[in-house]
Structure 1
């Protein structure tokens, strides 16, 4: 009688090496998106050959890194909620910033680069949350109504990505980015910058907290 053995979990050292490679890739590729596998392996304290025991190509490693990061971001933002649509939209924007600001260059690569289609699919839940906030805001009269919710959601997304791209190329402090990404999102849905600043100041949930 033949029995089927349960699949074995990877050896601990193999699992640790894979995790080390992904962590190293996040650091190295955030400094230089074109860095070769040798640089990633060196950062992880491993040989180039050992990389191929986990990833057949550099693109395979990059795909896993991007998709794991995107899923983490989507999971974090799925918990963002607020009854007021403007506050909800601002919270989505600033929570997105908080999740990606430490890997700004990699985030731009993930969204604008060759893996954009994979990233887009994983970020669909966030886009849906933005559209819902905008529809609620339009229905309540707090967001502009001369543009469809679908188009306005794309404009909000582009404004947030604009902040990310600007911060990847030019110095932008974490706290400054926290404020700017909300201002840009609220501006896209119809608030003037004075009104957006006053709105943010008046919402305790939107205030910067030391230690974030």
Structure 2
């Protein structure tokens, strides 16, 4: 009977550490374990009881964030490949912009391999979408589907890491950039987004 509160406290402490890490790293991406622990109202020793080191904590943040990105990919159901890609790009951007510091940290070279593993479901979804888009002639076919999917990933990575999430029209730029890589002209992208303004509307 006494073990249940202990487990409950442990879960609460772990959740508190992750929340503190998100907010602390948003202000200072290089914040130390000591700073994160103080922000969580816990001792350094308690933090190390949950995470072996700072990298382990960051990896946990990446995993929990990746789960949200993977869920977004699963939620896209548009039959039109162009709309599906645009909507996926917009929703992923909105999520990344909400926690841009974490997204940029996850995409840093030091963590990119771990991030790739955590985002495997999303990457598979993009690959399937690109293949479908090529098959129905929505996307360019001069580049093999796996290569095109990788190009889209790399462009999205750069956009997330380099674009100011608070800037006006940032989501629109992100979507147009991805559509351009997929082979749509700027006029085709403009027509698509004009016809479907809900794509870039904030979901929060």
- Answer whether TM exceeds 0.5 for this pair: yes
RMSD: 2.1
Alignment match, 2:201: 208
| Greater Rg by CA | 1
Residues 93-123 of structure 1: per-residue CA shift (max 9 Å, x gap) = 1111122212212212212232222211121
- Residue 29 of structure 2 aligns to a residue in which SS? coil
| Aligned residue among 62, 69, 83 for 1:66 | 62
Whole-Å separation in 1 of the counterparts to 2:8 and 2:182? 50
More helix by share: 2
The alpha carbon displacement at 1:9 in A equals 7.0
Alignment match, 2:128: 132
Distance 1:11 1:57, change over 3 A: same
Cα pair 1:90 1:206 within 8 Å, conserved: yes
Q: Does 1:161 align with 2:157?
A: yes
Q: How does 1:92-103 map to 2 (within 5 A)?
A: 92-103=88-99
Q: Does 1:24 align with 2:20?
A: yes
The alpha carbon displacement at 1:153 in A equals 0.8
Cα pair 1:37 1:48 within 8 Å, conserved: yes
Cα pair 2:127 2:149 within 8 Å, conserved: yes
Whole-Å separation in 1 of the counterparts to 2:177 and 2:44? 43
The alpha carbon displacement at 1:51 in A equals 1.2
Whole-Å separation in 2 of the counterparts to 1:197 and 1:182? 10
Residues 2-29 of structure 1: per-residue CA shift (max 9 Å, x gap) = xxx9x85743333212111100101112
Across the two proteins, how many residue pairs are aligned to each other? 203
Cα pair 1:175 1:208 within 8 Å, conserved: no
Q: How does 1:1-212 map to 2 (within 5 A)?
A: 10-167=6-163, 171-173=164-166, 176-209=169-202, 212=204
Cα pair 1:86 1:133 within 8 Å, conserved: no
Name stretches of at least 5 consecutive residues in structure 1 with no aligned partner: none
Distance 1:207 1:50, change over 3 A: closer
Name stretches of at least 5 consecutive residues in structure 2 with no aligned partner: none
- TM (norm. structure 1) is 0.86
